[in-house]
């Protein structure tokens, strides 16, 4: 969720001096933004320091990412002002950007607009820069999809061209630098720049780099990295040319619209923008920005139904005004005019949310919905709970270990080999503790015992939980398996203790030992050479069906002393681990 | 012996009424033995006693020497002849050894003698040996009326403090001169022989703890999970099969109308799989999902970007159980319309850097309600009822943004103990782009809500580090100690605050 910093006094003045921090926090809550912090509440401000508000903005509300946007939206919400109408007015001398064919290889799209007669102050200038940063970070996906260039129009001459050239052929002085460099040098130069280096990868390996020229072949920007020193804007800039390049045509338009709707406020003629014509190599021409209101048709019945209120169409249209949405009632229908500032509205449901906010979430009448449905547990969870309770009743303590672990934990430490056919491996873990999904519960329980050495022996610990196994036969390539694992750690291994617990669990599931019966569903221990266990003290736990067929459920044994050493344990441990899904 | 002593005590009490001082009454019997007998008699309420303590001083070896031969300083003074000649210090040292050094220091401090070159010369004509006098008093009386003298003698390690403990004994409520053997426990033999009828039972100390049963215990997180499950069952919810940690991006994101460039799909946030890396196939409605992302549909303008099938096939560890809800809604849509309520409580994964409040895996509690009459108003009414069952009233809702629900609401509850609003979870109405792609007919509204299981558990059981709750760093003692989970009662920190408040009053 993006956060913006706003000058407290300036905002409170704008809203008519009716708020203190507490009541403003309430307003934010109601509107769906969050006052995270008021710097004056944190302690004494330094002399001359102005109180700042930190406000969390929902990730899809790009129109609230600057002072201009959030103050206007709240002003309209409080019905102190009407939302402005944004107009595209023709320029005396039309602006044009011609796109060369090579751009398609690296960054195909460009859009533009001109803000005429702008009055900047230090605060407005900073807000303009900050908004670009926020947009670059969020909507523009760290400049990968979209990047913004802004220029002092009076330092350059149109028509402009958007080209893609070999880096060696591009030569210019980047913003705030004195050295003239070519494209290769730019990459090298910014390799150590904390800010710019994060974007170098976007074009570094491309044979051609995107570049914007003016009519006199002066480089204006090298998207998505840096503008030129020559055309940079300053507090004295009066006419601003915005060019935005992109790989995503939807987002580039959203970005342009947000910038011009926010900052056209400071134009000679507020909320007007001069268009820029973009000509593509195939001769197709487009004019930007596209500020026309979108129309979305909905009905009072639908909106009322979603929110759970009963308002007339006229009342709905009044409420929507608080959200900067103009609505026309046409019989049963409500036609909502969506301003260019609200690209987040995709469907009627988005209008329903705005209506709910305008009405007030906490004023919506509570209506109990009494449709009868039948409750039911998931059968596997029900089975797990039976096994869990049996084991706990027998005196074992339940642990809940992590399902991700290191590869060694699951294999080498248990003296097991990875044949590549069982374990799910993660691509991008941040820690070696998260390399794989466990295929056994045992390593987690051994680590639990290791962390609890301070307690008197014996330790009896168990877990009933899922492991993950590869399975090429299912769509997802892997599936969970529910295991039960229990261990006993003491001065002596006492195999018969975990064996007795296993007998108990089996009995609770109506399965008898082969020692006690020779027909029916039974289980047995089959001595086996299992590297995790002490030789001669390990066995497979087998389920024998009524028809005599058998199935391996898991293993039981005294852990191999090397395994115990790998988990930093000095006491003998015996354990069993079985798959309980066959008992479903 | 001790039985004998007890009888002696009882007989003495019988004849004399009380015993003023046991040390005087039972000469030669050690105090510990007397105390043992008294305690035993007291437990049978035959006697009552109070402890008498007397302090007295005895003379140490060095003190004895000075008591007999005079203090070191007096001895030195005597060795210094009268007149201005005095005596050479080295002669004194030869004669008295270490006593010379200690004695002459005191003599100088007392201004009895002075230094004259290498010799000591008398200043005083005669002296009184206060130390010796003090020691004589202590020797005779065991103490000294002057506290300063005692302090001085003690500092010079000439005397030592001693204590005598003695007891004054009186008759108890059950006084008698007879002693009966007391039984400590009821035994099977006593039952068989009938001895229990006449047996006298030793008084039981109820200000004690019992023997730890050392039984098995369930994990607190699982206990809280059980409480949540019960509330879901009470309100008609069916549990979803969430035993699939691995999902395709399609089910985890695309089917929920989360665009492919969404930040939640970054490697920074989501675990992708290396092996297996991709799903073998996508469900048959994948093209509907592609269209609604690329071009819109169902009244939506869509996200308008090129949708990639390969991206959708990438396997992830599910980031939420909503991936399973999507499966369930898709399945529900196969049959004729019916209202449905689903829930799950299971693990989800985030590629987080682990700290005290974040783990790469945690449990998500999720509820989904599909109903033609579902509205924000009925969702709010349901959440009110749901959380009230867990002792949380005063809910408040804040508009928020989720990519797959609209309208969306964060759920807050006012906590009186803490005096602030706590965020409980997230909720909303699933977007039509998602529901209709999954096959649900128009007009079926689906509300969903979710919260983490760890947060309320940490709060209820007073655990401040999540790693000490989920995972091997858990304290097994904590599992054994913690109480049953009753979400409608105050527990952990809440209960603690309550008792602190009571203390203040």
Residue B492 binned pLDDT confidence (cut-offs 50, 70, 90): low
A77-81, A138-142, A527-531, B387-391: which has the minimum mean pLDDT? B387-391
Q: Which residues of B touch A374 (CB under 8 A)?
A: 236, 238
What per-residue confidence (pLDDT) applies to B100? 81
**Are A68 and A127 a contacting pair, CB within 8 Å?**
yes
Average pLDDT over residues A325-329: 94
Tens of pLDDT, residues B38-61: 888 888 888 999 998 888 888 888
Contact assignment for B305 to A478 by CB distance below 8 Å? no
**Are B257 and B434 a contacting pair, CB within 8 Å?**
yes
* Residue of A251, A235, A246 whose CA lies nearest to A97: A246
Distance CA B20, CA B41 (A): 17
Contact assignment for A477 to B276 by CB distance below 8 Å? yes
Residue B155 binned pLDDT confidence (cut-offs 50, 70, 90): confident
How far does CA B102 lie from the centroid of its chain? 56
Of A361, A364, A369, the CB nearest to B374: A369
CA distance B490 to chain A (A): 24
Q: What are the DSSP calls for A217-242, one per residue?
A: --EEEETTTEEBSTT---TT--SEEE
Look over chain A and give the mean of its residue pLDDT values, rounded to a whole number.
95
Contact assignment for A403 to B381 by CB distance below 8 Å? no
**Are A411 and B481 a contacting pair, CB within 8 Å?**
no
Taking the CA atoms of residue B56, residue B60, residue B66 and residue B69 in that order, the dihedral angle to the nearest 10 degrees is 110
Distance CA B204, CA B218 (A): 33
What per-residue confidence (pLDDT) applies to A208? 95
Tens of pLDDT, residues A469-488: 999 999 999 999 999 999 99
22-61 in chain A: CB under 8 A from chain B: 29-32, 34, 58-61
Average pLDDT over residues A302-328: 95
CA distance B340 to chain A (A): 6
Instruction: Number of A to B CB contacts under 8 A, please give it.
Output: 299
Peptide bond between residue A351 and the one before it cis (omega within 30 degrees of 0): no
Q: Which residues of A touch B274 (CB under 8 A)?
A: 425-427
Distance CA B65, CA B241 (A): 93
Beta bridge partners of A512: A522
3-state per-residue secondary structure call for A99-146: ECHHHHHCCCEEEEEEECCCCCCHHHHHHHHHHHHHHHHCCCCCCCCE
Q: How far is CA A67 from CA A31, A64, A77, A251, A484, in A?
A: 16, 8, 15, 22, 57
**Are B344 and B316 a contacting pair, CB within 8 Å?**
no
Residue A94 binned pLDDT confidence (cut-offs 50, 70, 90): very high
Contact assignment for B272 to A428 by CB distance below 8 Å? yes
Tens of pLDDT, residues A345-360: 999 999 999 999 999 9
Half-sphere exposure of A316 (CA within 13 A, CB side): 30
Beta-strand (E) ranges in B438-490?
445-452
**Are A461 and B476 a contacting pair, CB within 8 Å?**
yes
CB-based contacts of B406, cutoff 8 Å, min separation 6:
A347, A349, A350, A352, A353, B428, B429, B431
What per-residue confidence (pLDDT) applies to B503? 36
What per-residue confidence (pLDDT) applies to B505? 30
CA distance A403 to chain B (A): 8
SS3 A161: strand
* Residue of A303, A323, A322, A305 whose CA lies nearest to A313: A303
Percent of chain A with pLDDT over 70: 100
Average pLDDT over residues B350-360: 87
Tens of pLDDT, residues B240-279: 999 999 999 999 999 999 999 998 999 889 999 999 999 9
Taking the CA atoms of residue A158, residue A160, residue A166 and residue A170 in that order, the dihedral angle to the nearest 10 degrees is 30
What per-residue confidence (pLDDT) applies to B162? 85
What per-residue confidence (pLDDT) applies to B70? 86
Q: Which residues of A touch B234 (CB under 8 A)?
A: 375
A155-169, A250-264, B152-166, B428-442: which has the minimum mean pLDDT? B152-166
Q: Which residues of B touch A426 (CB under 8 A)?
A: 271-274, 317
For residues A444-453, one letter each, b for 16 or more C-beta atoms within 10 angstroms of the residue's C-beta and e for the rest, the string is bbbbbbbbbe
Tens of pLDDT, residues B21-31: 888 888 888 88
* Residue of B446, B454, B287, B462 whose CA lies nearest to B378: B446
CA distance A141 to chain B (A): 8
Half-sphere exposure of A149 (CA within 13 A, CB side): 31
Residue B500 binned pLDDT confidence (cut-offs 50, 70, 90): very low
Contact assignment for A466 to B371 by CB distance below 8 Å? no
3-state per-residue secondary structure call for B326-390: HHHHHHHCCCCCCCEEEEEEEEEECCCCCECCECCEEEEEEEEEEECCCCHHHHHHHHHHHHHCC
Q: Best of B305, B315, B347, B407 to disrupt the A interface by mutation (most A CBs within 10 Å)?
A: B407
What per-residue confidence (pLDDT) applies to A35? 94
Residue B493 binned pLDDT confidence (cut-offs 50, 70, 90): low
Peptide bond between residue A91 and the one before it cis (omega within 30 degrees of 0): no
**Are B253 and B320 a contacting pair, CB within 8 Å?**
no
Q: Euclidean distance between the first and final Cα of chain A, in Å? A: 44
Distance CA A263, CA A251 (A): 18
CB-based contacts of A538, cutoff 8 Å, min separation 6:
A527, A528, A529, A530, A532, A555, A556, A557, A558
* Residue of A136, A139, A230 whose CA lies nearest to A180: A230
**Are A123 and A224 a contacting pair, CB within 8 Å?**
no
Contact assignment for B382 to A369 by CB distance below 8 Å? yes
* Residue of B349, B363, B320 whose CA lies nearest to B470: B363
Q: Which residues of B touch A378 (CB under 8 A)?
A: 239-243, 344
Classify residue B341 as exposed, middle or buried by CB count within 10 Å of its CB (0-12, 13-18, 19+): buried
Element (H, E) at A18: none
Residue B1 binned pLDDT confidence (cut-offs 50, 70, 90): low
Interface ipTM > 0.95: no
Check the CA dihedral A35-A37-A39-A42 and report its sign.
positive
Q: What single-letter DSSP state applies at residue B297?
A: B
A17-26, B404-413, B461-470: which has the minimum mean pLDDT? B461-470
How many residues are there in chain B?
505
A455 to chain B, any CB pair closer than 8 A? The answer is: yes
* Residue of B329, B327, B309 whose CA lies nearest to B318: B327
Distance CA A144, CA A233 (A): 24
Longest Cα–Cα distance in chain A: 100
* pLDDT above 80: residue B2: no
Contact assignment for B279 to A475 by CB distance below 8 Å? yes
348-367 in chain A: CB under 8 A from chain B: 348-350, 352-353, 356-357, 361-362, 364-367
Average pLDDT over residues A510-522: 92
Average pLDDT over residues B8-33: 87
A388 to chain B, any CB pair closer than 8 A? The answer is: yes
Check the CA dihedral B252-B258-B261-B265 and report its sign.
negative
CB-based contacts of A110, cutoff 8 Å, min separation 6:
A97, A99, A103, A162, A212, A243, A244, A245, A246, A252, A278
Q: Best of B224, B246, B259, B261 to disrupt the A interface by mutation (most A CBs within 10 Å)?
A: B246
CB-based contacts of A515, cutoff 8 Å, min separation 6:
A524
Peptide bond between residue B184 and the one before it cis (omega within 30 degrees of 0): no
* Residue of A419, A410, A456 whose CA lies nearest to A437: A410
Q: Which residues of A touch B301 (CB under 8 A)?
A: 294, 346-347
How many residues are there in chain A?
584
What per-residue confidence (pLDDT) applies to A201? 94
Contact assignment for A306 to B407 by CB distance below 8 Å? yes
Of A306, A374, A425, the CB nearest to B275: A425
Q: Which residues of B touch A343 (CB under 8 A)?
A: none
Of A249, A377, A476, the CB nearest to B247: A476
Contact assignment for B236 to A375 by CB distance below 8 Å? yes
Tens of pLDDT, residues A182-207: 999 999 999 999 999 999 999 999 99
* pLDDT above 50: residue A386: yes
User: Which residue blocks in B118-219 are alpha helix, DSSP H?
Assistant: 130-141, 147-155, 188-193
SS3 A9: helix
Contact assignment for A395 to B381 by CB distance below 8 Å? no
**Are A333 and A303 a contacting pair, CB within 8 Å?**
no
Other C-beta atoms lying within 10 Å of the C-beta of residue A137: 14
Of A59, A250, A388, the CB nearest to B303: A250
Distance CA A500, CA A257 (A): 72
CB-based contacts of B161, cutoff 8 Å, min separation 6:
B55, B56, B57, B154
* Residue of B409, B487, B490, B415 whose CA lies nearest to B450: B409
* pLDDT above 70: residue B494: no
Distance CA B94, CA B98 (A): 9
Residue B455 binned pLDDT confidence (cut-offs 50, 70, 90): confident
CB-based contacts of B157, cutoff 8 Å, min separation 6:
B60, B62, B63
* pLDDT above 90: residue A436: yes
CA distance A374 to chain B (A): 5
């Amino acid at each position: 969720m993006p956060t913006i910093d706003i000058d407290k006094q300036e905002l409170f003045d704008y809203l008519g001096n009716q708020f203190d921090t507490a009541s403003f926090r309430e307003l934010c809550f109601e509107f769906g933004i969050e006052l995270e912090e008021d710097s004056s509440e944190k302690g004494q401000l330094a002399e001359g320091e102005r109180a700042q508000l930190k406000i969390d903005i929902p990730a899809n509300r790009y129109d609230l990412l600057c002072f201009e946007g959030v103050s206007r939206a709240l002003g309209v919400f409080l019905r102190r002002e009407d939302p402005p109408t944004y107009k595209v007015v023709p320029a005396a001398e039309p602006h044009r950007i011609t796109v060369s064919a090579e751009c398609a290889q690296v960054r195909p799209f460009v859009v533009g607009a001109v803000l005429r007669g702008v009055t900047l102050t230090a605060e407005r200038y900073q807000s303009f820069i900050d908004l670009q940063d926020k947009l670059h970070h969020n909507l523009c996906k760290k400049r990968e999809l979209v990047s913004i260039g802004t220029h002092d129009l009076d330092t350059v001459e149109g028509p402009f061209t958007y080209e893609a050239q070999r880096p060696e052929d591009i030569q210019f002085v980047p913003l705030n630098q004195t050295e003239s460099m070519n494209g290769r040098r730019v990459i090298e130069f910014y390799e150590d720049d904390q800010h710019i280096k994060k974007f170098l990868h976007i074009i570094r390996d491309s044979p051609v780099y995107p570049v914007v020229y003016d009519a006199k072949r002066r480089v204006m920007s090298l998207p998505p990295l840096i503008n030129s020193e020559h055309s940079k804007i300053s507090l004295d800039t009066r006419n601003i040319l915005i060019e935005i390049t992109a790989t995503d045509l939807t987002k580039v338009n959203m970005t342009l619209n947000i910038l011009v709707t926010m900052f056209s406020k400071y134009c000679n003629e507020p909320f007007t923008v001069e268009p820029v014509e973009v000509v593509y190599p195939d001769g197709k021409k487009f004019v930007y920005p596209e500020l026309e209101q979108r129309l979305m048709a909905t009905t009072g019945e639908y909106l009322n139904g979603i929110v759970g209120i009963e308002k007339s169409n006229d009342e709905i249209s009044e409420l929507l005004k608080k959200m900067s949405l103009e609505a026309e009632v046409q019989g049963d229908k409500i036609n909502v005019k969506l301003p260019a500032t609200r690209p987040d509205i995709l469907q009627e449901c988005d209008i329903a949310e705005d209506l709910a906010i305008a009405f007030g979430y906490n004023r919506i009448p509570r209506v109990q919905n009494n449709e009868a449905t039948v409750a039911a547990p998931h059968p596997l969870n029900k089975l797990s709970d039976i096994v869990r309770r049996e084991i706990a009743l027998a005196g074992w303590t339940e642990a809940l270990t992590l399902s991700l672990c290191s590869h060694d934990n699951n294999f080498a430490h248990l003296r097991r080999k990875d044949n590549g056919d069982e374990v799910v491996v993660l691509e991008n873990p941040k820690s070696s503790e998260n390399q794989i999904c466990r295929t056994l519960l045992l390593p987690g329980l051994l680590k639990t015992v290791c962390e609890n050495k301070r307690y008197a022996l014996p330790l009896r610990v168990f877990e009933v939980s899922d492991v993950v196994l590869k399975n090429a036969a299912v769509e997802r390539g892997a599936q969970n398996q529910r295991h039960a694992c229990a261990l006993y750690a003491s001065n002596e291994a006492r195999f018969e203790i975990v064996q007795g617990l296993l007998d108990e669990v089996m009995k609770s599931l109506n399965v008898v030992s082969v020692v006690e019966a020779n027909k029916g569903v039974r289980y047995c221990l089959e001595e086996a050479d299992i590297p995790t266990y002490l030789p001669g003290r390990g066995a497979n736990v087998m389920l024998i069906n009524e028809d005599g067929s058998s199935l391996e459920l898991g293993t039981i044994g005294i852990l191999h002393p090397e395994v115990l050493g790998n988990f930093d344990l000095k006491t003998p441990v015996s354990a069993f681990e079985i798959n309980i899904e066959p008992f479903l | 012996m001790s039985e004998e002593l007890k009888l002696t005590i009882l007989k003495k009490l019988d004849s004399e009424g009380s015993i003023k001082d046991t040390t005087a009454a039972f000469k030669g019997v050690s105090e510990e033995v007397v105390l043992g007998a008294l305690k035993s008699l007291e437990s049978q309420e035959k006697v009552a006693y109070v402890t008498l303590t007397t302090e007295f001083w005895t003379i140490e070896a060095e003190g004895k020497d000075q008591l007999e031969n005079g203090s070191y300083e007096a001895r030195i003074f005597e060795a210094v002849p009268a007149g201005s000649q005095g005596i050479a210090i080295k002669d004194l040292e030869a004669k008295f050894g270490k006593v010379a050094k200690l004695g002459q220091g005191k003599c100088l401090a007392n201004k009895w003698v002075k230094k004259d070159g290498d010799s000591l010369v008398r200043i005083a004509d005669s002296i009184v040996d206060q130390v010796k006098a003090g020691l004589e008093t202590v020797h005779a009386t065991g103490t000294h009326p002057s506290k300063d003298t005692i302090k001085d003698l003690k500092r010079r390690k000439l005397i030592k403090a001693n204590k005598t403990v003695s007891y004054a004994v009186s008759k108890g409520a059950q006084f008698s001169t007879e002693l009966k053997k007391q039984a400590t426990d009821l035994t099977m033999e006593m039952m068989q022989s009938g001895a229990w009828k006449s047996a006298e039972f030793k008084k039981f100390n109820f200000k004690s703890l019992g023997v730890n049963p050392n039984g098995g215990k369930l994990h607190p997180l699982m206990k809280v999970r059980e409480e949540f499950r019960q509330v879901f069952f009470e309100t008609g919810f069916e549990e979803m099969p969430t035993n699939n940690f691995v999902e395709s991006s399609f089910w985890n994101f695309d089917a929920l109308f989360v665009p492919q460039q969404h930040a939640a799909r970054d490697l920074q946030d989501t675990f992708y799989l290396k092996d297996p890396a991709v799903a073998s196939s996508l469900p048959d409605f994948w093209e509907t999902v592609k269209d609604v992302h690329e071009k819109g549909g169902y009244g939506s303008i869509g996200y308008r970007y090129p949708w990639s099938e390969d991206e959708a096939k990438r396997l992830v560890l599910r980031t939420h159980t909503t991936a399973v809800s999507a499966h369930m809604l898709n399945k529900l849509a196969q049959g004729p319309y019916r209202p449905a309520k689903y829930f799950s409580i299971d693990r989800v994964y985030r590629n987080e850097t682990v700290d005290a409040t974040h783990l790469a895996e945690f449990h998500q509690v999720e509820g989904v309600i599909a109903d033609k009459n579902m509205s924000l108003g009925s969702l709010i009414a349901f959440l009110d009822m749901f959380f009230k069952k867990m002792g949380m009233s005063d809910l408040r809702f804040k508009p928020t943004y989720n990519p797959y629900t609209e309208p969306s609401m964060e759920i807050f509850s006012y906590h009186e103990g803490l005096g602030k609003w706590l965020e409980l979870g997230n909720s909303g109405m699933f977007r039509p782009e998602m529901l209709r792609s999954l096959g649900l007919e128009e007009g079926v509204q689906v509300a969903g809500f979710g919260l983490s299981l760890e947060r309320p558990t940490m709060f209820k059981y007073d655990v401040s580090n999540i790693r000490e709750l989920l995972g091997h760093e858990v304290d097994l003692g904590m599992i054994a100690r913690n109480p049953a989970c009753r979400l409608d009662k105050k527990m952990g920190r809440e209960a603690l605050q309550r008792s602190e408040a009571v203390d203040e009053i």
